[in-house]
Amino acid sequence: DTGVSQDPRHKITKRGQNVTFRCDPISEHNRLYWYRQTLGQGPEFLTYFQNEAQLEKSRLLSDRFSAERPKGSFSTLEIQRTEQGDSAMYLCASSPGRGSSYNEQFFGPGTRLTVL
């Protein structure tokens, strides 16, 4: 078990381009979360999956953002027509949903997006 992994770790793109990030949670964790963190701020919740079902989306997740978890394992976060305001660290976390640490969230290292 190597923890939550995210790919890529860094992404630089031009305004208007589409980007996609991937998150691989800890195996058998059925809960998966995406957060966004801008400089000097704490992470902000974006969306949550339980298995393959997306159960909550923040108002921060505009129409340009879409997230999927097709088989209840890895997840992708896509941003269409990127804007400079999308520049941030995108964090993924997973939790087991059962057992003694059922609600503890394990975070990945994040993907740092820079929109030029």
Q: Are 76 and 85 in contact (CB under 8 A)?
A: no
Taking the alpha carbons at both ends of the chain, their separation in whole angstroms is 36
With CB under 8 A as the contact rule, the residue among 65, 108, 113, 115 that binds another protein is: 108
Residue 85 dihedral angles phi and psi, to the nearest 5°: -70, -10
Nearer to another protein, 68 or 80 (CB): 68
SS3 65: strand
Stretch of residues binding another protein (CB under 8 A), selected from 11-19, 63-71, 77-85, 95-103:
95-103
Residues 25-84 that bind another protein (CB under 8 A): 31, 33, 35, 40-45, 48, 50, 55-56
Tell me how far apart the 2 most distant CA atoms of the chain are, in Å.
44
Q: How far is the CB of 47 from another protein (least distance, A)?
A: 9
Residues of this chain that bind another protein (CB under 8 A): 4, 31, 33, 35, 40-45, 48, 50, 55-56, 91, 93, 95, 97, 102-110
